[in-house]
Amino acid sequence: MPTFKPLIRRARAGDYTQACDLLDALDKFHRDRAPWMFKAPDAQPRSQRFFDELLTSPDAAVFVADAGRLVGVAYGVMKSAPDFPVFIRQRWGVIDGLVVDPGWQRRGIGRLLAQAFEQWALGLGAAWLELNVYEFNPEAYQFYQALGYLPLSTKMRKPRS
């Protein structure tokens, strides 16, 4: 495996298939660990239209790690506080997905993808950055903690008996 770092860049429409392949692997990871919540889709869950909207929306961004083929992808959106008197009117960035090909992990690629998204969101005035990590993924939890992310809330569930 090469020792060079892939190019981190904004995704293009032509990246759709390879980006979906990486995100499909992330979906499988979630299915394997929480089959009560996630299932195998009958078709590609992220349509070309969905991907194109992420690429063209001023409030969304997709970054890829390009090593001649895509070896990582991160995407997310900007969100705004609801128009309700108790909330401070502000915007923040949300990483919705980040995945690195297993053969390319532990080389700083995930960090570079996260930083690319963070710089983009902060450039749009994000007051903070957030993401969701499932309890069944302690590796991701540790990864994001190392990047400076802190717990914001705890979401709990009670399974049906």
Give the tens place of pLDDT for each residue, 55-114.
999 999 999 999 999 999 999 999 999 999 999 999 999 999 999 999 999 999 999 999
Residues 6+ apart with CB under 8 A from 31: 38, 39, 40
Model pTM score? 0.94
CA angle, corner 32, sides to 30 and 38, nearest 5?
55
Could you give the 3-state DSSP secondary structure of residue 58? coil
pLDDT of 1 reads 52
Q: Where are the beta strands (DSSP E) in 11-122?
A: 60-66, 70-80, 91-100
Q: Answer yes or no: are the C-beta atoms of 100 and 113 closer than 8 Å.
A: yes
| 7-146 CATH pick, 3.40.630.30, 3.40.50.620, 3.30.70.1450, 3.60.20.10 | 3.40.630.30
| DSSP 8-state code for residue 34 | -
Q: How confident is the model at residue 144 (pLDDT cuts 50, 70, 90)?
A: very high
* Contacts within 8 Å (CB) and 24+ apart, 137-143: 137/29, 137/33, 143/110
Q: 55: phi > 0 → left, psi -120 to 50 → alpha, else beta; which? A: alpha
4-53, pLDDT tens digit by residue?
A: 789 999 999 999 999 999 999 999 999 999 999 999 999 999 999 999 99
53 burial (CB, 10 Å; 0-12 / 13-18 / 19+) is exposed
pLDDT of 152 reads 95
Q: How confident is the model at residue 3 (pLDDT cuts 50, 70, 90)?
A: low
Domain ranges of the chain: 7-146
